[in-house]
Each structure stands twice: as structure tokens, then as C-alpha cells.
Chains A and B, each alone.
Chain A
Amino acid sequence: RKEVEQDPGPFNVPEGATVAFNCTYSNSASQSFFWYRQDCRKEPKLLMSVYSSGNEDGRFTAQLNRASQYISLLIRDSKLSDSATYLCVVDYDKIIFGKGTRLHILP
């Protein structure tokens, strides 16, 4: 099993739709969890940290399920500017990035 696995993409969704990304991790000792966003030919940037209680930032909601070793990201009312690759990141004694899921928002 890969250390961090994400939904294979790309996701092509119409503007205004809700889209959900899933991510699973193999190491139960993992302590910190993040979602990063990477635009084409740019560096990754932190979108949000993921807490056990779940957290929300505007249109974005992140959830963590430690028992199932699963992280999710929900984007509501998607905008054209949300088009990017979304990277799931897990941190224990080293930092592991998923392969990323590419999202295309269609006008």
C-alpha cells in the first residue's frame, strides 16, 4: 500500500458544483495532515491544515478520520480559479505528499 494515496484525476466539474477529494494514508503514527494546492508550473502552497475535529475555511472543508486513516477535502460552489492540482500531505517523521489530484473547473 502506498504511504499516501489520492483519487486519480483529473476531475472536470462545472462552475458552481461541489467537488470532494479523498486521501488515504498507511502510517497510523502520522501526526499532521495538510492540503496543498499547486498551480501549473508553480510551487505548492498551503490550502489548509486538517484537524481531528474537522475544519472549514470559506468554501473549503477538510475532514480527518484517524480510525480509517482517511482525509477529505470538500470544495463548495467551485470557481474557475479553483482549477489546480490538490496535494494531500501527511507528516510523521518525514513529510509525504500524495501524487495530487488535478481539478478542472469548466465555465
Chain B
Amino acid sequence: ETGVTQSPTHLIKTRGQQVTLRCSSQSGHNTVSWYQQALGQGPQFIFQYYREEENGRGNFPPRFSGLQFPNYSSELNVNALELDDSALYLCASSLAWGGDEQFFGPGTRLTVL
């Protein structure tokens, strides 16, 4: 069974640029959630995708957007990057939405200069 993978591992961008982060969910999982984790903080929920549709969203502006593909892999896109977007971005997959254990990937460390 393959676990959750994310790419890239690290990324450096400048203010105003756009970034795409990728996540492959664990085999058999149809739900993917994305989180932003700043240093010293808990993960902040960005949004969740269930069977290719957005299924819930946290308090993030519209410049944070996502996609889920038929194979349940997912992308997180961030437009017009700001310095405060520097964080660890975590993807988690689960068997279903609502109350299931989430399996996290190792994360992508994004630095915005």
C-alpha cells in the first residue's frame, strides 16, 4: 500500500508569483484535505475534496484553489503569493469525509521571498 506523497519537497517563490503543489492520496482513499502549517502552529484547514468536488473550505481567500482528479490525486494552487504564505503545506487523504482518520503526506515547505 502506497502512502500519501507530495511534491515538491521544498519550493522558493517570490511575492506575486503563483505556485502549484501536488498530492497523491493513499490507495483506496477518495477524500483529500489540504492544510497550511506555520511554524509553531497547528495545521490550518484550507479545503477538502471528495470525489473531485470541493466538500468544505476553511478561512482562506479565493486565491487558494484546488483540484482533485479522477484518480483522487490533488493539486493546491496559490495565486499572488504573499510573504505570509510561507509555511508547510500538508495534504491528507482519508477513506471518506467526516470522521475518518487522515493520513498525512510529508508536506511541501514553501518559502515566499
Q: Which residues of B contact A62 (CB under 8 A)?
A: none
- Given known A-B contacts A43-B90, A43-B106, A44-B90, A96 and B101 have beta carbons under 8 A apart: no
The reply on B8 being an interface residue by CB < 8 A is: no
Q: Which of A26-62 contact B (CB under 8 A)?
A: 31-32, 34, 42-46, 49
The reply on A1 being an interface residue by CB < 8 A is: no
Q: Which residues of A contact B41 (CB under 8 A)?
A: 99-100
The reply on A77 being an interface residue by CB < 8 A is: no
Chain A's closest residue to B3 (CB) is A43
The reply on B44 being an interface residue by CB < 8 A is: yes
Q: Which residues of B contact A70 (CB under 8 A)?
A: none
| Residues of B in contact, count (CB < 8 Å) | 21
Number of A-B residue pairs having CB atoms within 8 Å of each other in the complex: 47
B99 touches A32 (CB 8 A): yes
Classify chain A's interface size: 20 to 34
The reply on B56 being an interface residue by CB < 8 A is: yes
Interface centre among A4, A94, A99 (most CB of B within 10 A): A94
Q: Which of B69-107 contact A (CB under 8 A)?
A: 90, 98-99, 101-102, 104-107
Classify the secondary structure of B's interface with A.
loop
- Given known A-B contacts A46-B102, A91-B98, A99 and B42 have beta carbons under 8 A apart: yes
B104 touches A44 (CB 8 A): yes
The answer for the CA separation of A95 and B57 in the assembled complex, in Å, is 9
* B104 CB → nearest A CB, Å: 4
The reply on B35 being an interface residue by CB < 8 A is: yes
Q: Which of A63-107 contact B (CB under 8 A)?
A: 87, 91, 93-100
The answer for the CA separation of A5 and B104 in the assembled complex, in Å, is 22
Task: Please list 21 pairs of residues, one from A and one from B, whose beta carbons are closer than 8 Å in the complex, sorted by A's number.
Answer: A34-B101, A42-B106, A43-B107, A44-B43, A44-B90, A49-B101, A87-B42, A87-B43, A91-B98, A91-B99, A94-B45, A94-B48, A94-B56, A94-B57, A94-B58, A95-B48, A96-B45, A97-B44, A98-B42, A99-B42, A100-B41
Chain A interface (Cβ < 8 Å from any Cβ of B): 4, 31-32, 34, 42-46, 49, 87, 91, 93-100
